[in-house]
Structure 1
Amino acid sequence: MPHDDHGAGHAHDHTAGANARMLGWALALTATYLVAEVIGGLWFNSLALLSDAAHMLTDVAALVMSLLAIALGRKPPDDRRTFGYRRFEILAAAFNAVLLFAIAIYVFVEAIRRFSQPQEVQSWGMLIVAAIGLAVNLVSMRLLTAGKDASFNVKGAYLEVWADMIGSVGVIAGAVAIRFTGWTWIDPVVAVAIGLWVLPRTWILLRDTSNVLLEGVPRGVVLSDVRAAIGNVRGVSGLHDLHVWSTSNDENSCTVHVTLDDAADPDTVRTAIVAEMERRFGIAHVTVQAERPDALCDAATRHA
């Protein structure tokens, strides 16, 4: 059954454009600070800053991938990609989640190494550079906040920056503590704490993106409720082949075969089901195939 997707497409284009601008600003800030952090790490002989710079490098890569994903996601459907390219955003977000896991593992390994081989750092220089990094991360987080709940892709970039912000706070606290106590073991302890904080949030992102890639029922939608809502539409006597999935986290789809009562009008039933799906579940892309009981019996007889 045809329906007008122009409004939804226009809204998505507007959202994607806004996300691209915010990601662009965040990328510019992060890349600039990355250069500064590398220079500061070398100048102050701080392995902690250089290690954090490696983390920042992955942030820059993640932001670049997010921008590419949005650019590809805007491409219209074609003869080979009938759903378009929006799922590339999900692939990029999943890659970001895997990247965050790799970073957390690196942090744990580096922390273990530093427990056995403490590193001497110039704490004041470390503190100044980390404070600048904190300011950059706060601005980047502010830029990405608006789009993080509407896009897995932006959410992945947001989590990267959020992890960096926590890292900056940890480095600042560690620098102050080391400056006044001389306890160099504080540095790996902070590193482990950052890794433990990042991992649960990374798992949530990976779980949600995997659900989309596996075409699972979108979070927040209960399939039994969808089945009951369709079954309660006047003129529906039964239903089968019900599928609910999403091509991205803000575009849910539904297909279903319904069996009609003898007196039901197919077009009226289809229109009512589409309206109910959008009203109750926010599913605007709905395909309904209406069948008569006698047609099902004839099909079963022919198959036998």
Structure 2
Amino acid sequence: MGAGHDHGADLARAGERHRGRLWAAFALIAVFMVIEAVAALATGSLALLSDAGHMFTDVLGIGMALAAIHAASRAARDPQRTFGLYRLEVLAALGNAILLFGVAIYVLIEAARRFGHPPEVPAGPMLVVAIAGLIANIVAFGLLRAGAQESLNVRGAYLEVLGDLLGSVGVIVAAVVIALTGWAYADPIVAVAVGLFILPRTWRLARAAVRILVQAAPEHLDVTAVRTRLAAVPGVCDVHDLHVWTLTSGMDVASAHLTLDPSAQLGPVLVAAREALHDDFDIGHATLQVEPMAGDCRHVGW
């Protein structure tokens, strides 16, 4: 016998709540991505190219996030997809991280090559475009900040915009240095700084996505503590086959077998166990199988 509830109906999707902000950030960044790419090609600035590349991954990443949210929403109405397509959000976040890794590594390699022969870069156009990019990134940053704590996908877009924002500041600094001193090395140095800044944050995003895909227990949950809490429910004699994992952002789920004392009443035990998981661990969806203590207590474990 099990206990649980419809996760699709009971849990509002974090990504869905921020769909409008994602669309606004997508449109804004797409426009300035084109502007920066054209300016980078015209001026030969690697720092601008780095910033435009990050904006390109922003556009792709937010686009994937929106597509995943749309697909998950449609799949929730398909009875054959009992968990919907919530994992698409996680796959999109992982793809987002891979794109960021690629751009950062390319910029680092190109910067190393340019240290030997730094090209002349016109500081004026570089400065104007960088300031416009900074304004766009500040607006996008504000749009995505709230959702970054709720949705893995929004967090991926947020991290990319944060990297772009700092990249735009770096490009402005490089443009000012070149304009005042003519020191061409400022351009590849800023490009390297942006790449090194974003790599560890991208690694954390990829790691979080992989943990979900391999169904590891959430980092913030102690599985031993969950087992102990369930075992403390009145009427429960043993807890086995306990599994805790994350389905998608903001949706931790659990399953467990509970062995009951012969005198325990099934209904109150299930209610108490579900309340314990919800109140103590914020697990809103749990499937619990109960087994009587008497008789053959053998069970199949994973």
Q: TM-score, normalised by structure 2?
A: 0.92
Q: Matches of 1:292 and 1:44 in 2, distance apart?
A: 75
The question of whether the paired residues in 2 share the 8 Å contact of 1:235 and 1:261 is answered with yes
Q: Deviations over 1:40-84 (max 9, x none)?
A: 334445454244323322221111111101111212153542100
C-alpha distance after superposition, 1:144-182 (max 9, x if no partner) = 011011000001111111111111111111111111121
User: Aligned ranges for residues 141-160 of structure 1 at < 5 Å?
Assistant: 141-160=141-160
Preserved CA contact (<8 Å) 1:77 1:85 = no
Distance 1:243 1:201, change over 3 A: same
Asked if the contact 1:47/1:121 (under 8 Å) is kept, the reply is no
Q: Corresponding residue for 2:24?
A: 25
Q: Which amino acid aligns with 1:183?
A: W
Q: Hey, what's the Cα distance between the residues in 1 that align with 2:5 and 2:132?
A: 49
Give the length in aligned residue pairs: 297
Q: Could you say which residue in structure 2 is the equivalent of 1:192?
A: 192
The change in CA–CA distance for 1:105 and 1:247 in structure 2 (over 3 A counts) is same
Secondary structure in 2 aligned to 1:89? helix
1:118 aligns with 118
SS at match of 1:294: coil
- Which stretch has the larger CA shift, 86-95 or 45-54? 45-54
Give the corresponding residue for 2:52.
53
Asked whether the equivalents of residues 101 and 199 of structure 2 are also in contact (C-alpha less than 8 Å), the reply is: yes
**CA-to-partner distance for each residue in 1:266-291, whole Å, 9 max, x for gaps?**
22211110011001001111111111
Asked if the contact 2:4–2:288 (Cα under 8 Å) also holds between the matched residues in 1, the reply is no
SS of the residue aligned with 1:118?
Answer: coil
1:107–1:192 Cα contact (<8 Å) kept: yes
RCO (CA 8 Å, sep 6+): is it higher in 1 or 2? 2
Question: What's 2:261 paired with?
Answer: 261
Alignment of 1:89 onto 2:89 = yes
Counterpart secondary structure, 1:147: helix
Give % identity: 44
- Structure-1-length-normalised TM-score: 0.92
- Residues 281/152 of structure 1: CA separation in 2 closer, same or farther (3 Å cut): same
Which structure 2 residue ranges, 5 or more long, are not aligned?
none
SS of 2:216 mapped into structure 1: coil
Q: What does residue 232 of structure 1 align with?
A: 232
Q: Deviations over 1:224-250 (max 9, x none)?
A: 110110011111111110000111120
Q: Is the Cα–Cα contact under 8 Å of residues 120 and 184 in structure 2 kept in the other structure?
A: yes
- Alpha-carbon distance in structure 2 between the residues aligned to 1:183 and 1:113: 17
Q: For 2:18, what is the secondary structure of its paired residue? A: helix
The one-letter code matched in structure 1 to 2:36 is E
Q: 284-293 vs 21-30, which deviates more?
A: 284-293
Is the 2:4–2:286 contact (alpha carbons within 8 Å) kept by the matching residues of 1? no
